[in-house]
Homo-oligomer: A and B are copies of this chain.
Amino acid sequence: MQRAAWRDRVREVIFGVETRSGRAFDVLLLWMILLSVTAVLLESVASIQVAWGRELRWLEWVFTALFTVEYCLRLASVERPVRYATSFFGWVDLLAILPTYLSLLFPGAHSLLVIRALRLLRVFRVLKLVRYMGESTTLLQALRASRAKITVFLGAVMTLALILGTLVYLVEGSENGFTSIPRALYWAIVTMTTVGYGDVAPQTVPGQMLATIVMVLGYAIIAVPTGIVSAELTHAHDQPSDRLCASCGAGDHRSDAHFCRRCGGRM
C-alpha cells in the first residue's frame, strides 16, 4: 500500500500538471531539455569544441544521467509500462538518452562519426516540448480534418513540379545546370515554394518563360492550403458543439450557451 502511494505520488509529479509540484517538475524539465539541446548545438561548433569540449562532454553526461533517472521513474510509476515504452513519447524519451551510452560501446576511431550522428538524435528531446502545450489540440484537430485535402493538394503540386521541371530540363539542357530530371525537379520545388536559392536558374528565354509559370503557380497555389485550414478553423470556431435544443430542435449554438438562442428553452 505504501509502495502504491509512493508510485501514485511520483506519477502525479512526473505525468500530472494538476498539482503544484507537478507543474514545477514540468517547468524544470523544460529548462533542462532546452539547456541540453543548446549544449549539443554548441559542441558542434569547432571553435567551442576546442575550448570547452571537456566541460560540454561532462554536462552531457550529467543531463544523460538525469534523463535516465527520469525515464526509469516514468517506467516504474506508470500504470502500463509496456504501453508507455512503445508509445511515441516513450520512444522519444529513450532515444534522448541512448546515443550517449552507445558512444561508450563503440570507441573505435572510424565509428566516431557514427556516434556523433547517434548523439545528435538527442535533438529529438525537443519533441518533448509539445507535451506541455495544451493549445495544440484545437490546431491538431483542424489539421487532421483537413489532412485529406492537404494530401491531395501536395500530390497535385508535386505532379505539377515534376511535369514543369521536366519541360525546363528539356528546354535548358545540362549546360545550364539542369543536369538530370531529379535536379530539374529539385529546381522546380525550390522555385514553386518561392524559396529561390538561385544556385540553379534558367538561362534561356524559353526556360525563363516556363520558370515564370512555375513561380506564378507556386505563388497562387499557396492560397489553397491556407484556404483549407482557414475554413476548417473558422468552422471549428463557429460550431464547437453539436448540441440541439430539446424544445425546438435548433442547433448551431455557442459552446457556452445555457439556453436555446431561438426559443429560449433550457438546453
A contacts, CB < 8 Å to B: 37, 40-42, 44-46, 116-117, 120, 123-124, 126-127, 129-130, 133, 135-136, 138-139, 142-143, 148-157, 159, 162-163, 166, 169-170, 174, 179-182, 185-186, 189-199, 201, 205, 208, 211-212, 215-216, 218-220, 222-238, 250, 252-266
Contact = CB atoms under 8 A, between A and B. Distances in A.
Q: Is the interface of A mostly helix, strand, loop or mixed?
A: helix
B166 A152 contact: no
Contacts of A190: 196, 211, 215
Contact of A130 (B156, B192, B252): B156
A222 B212 contact: no
Nearest to A257: B261
Given A127-B159, A189-B212, A215-B193, A45 B252 contact: no
Contact of A149 (B123, B127, B139, B234): B139
Contact of A181 (B120, B156, B169, B229): B120
Contact of A230 (B44, B179, B233): B233
Given A41-B185, A126-B162, A129-B159, 12 more contacts: A37-B162, A42-B182, A44-B182, A45-B182, A136-B156, A138-B149, A195-B215, A223-B225, A226-B226, A226-B230, A234-B235, A254-B254
Nearest to A163: B123
22 contacts: A41-B185, A45-B180, A45-B181, A46-B174, A120-B170, A130-B155, A130-B159, A192-B219, A193-B219, A194-B219, A195-B219, A196-B198, A199-B201, A220-B225, A222-B223, A223-B230, A226-B227, A230-B234, A234-B237, A259-B259, A264-B265, A264-B266
B182 A205 contact: yes
Contacts of A123: 162-163, 166, 181
A243 B247 CA distance: 22
B256 A252 contact: yes
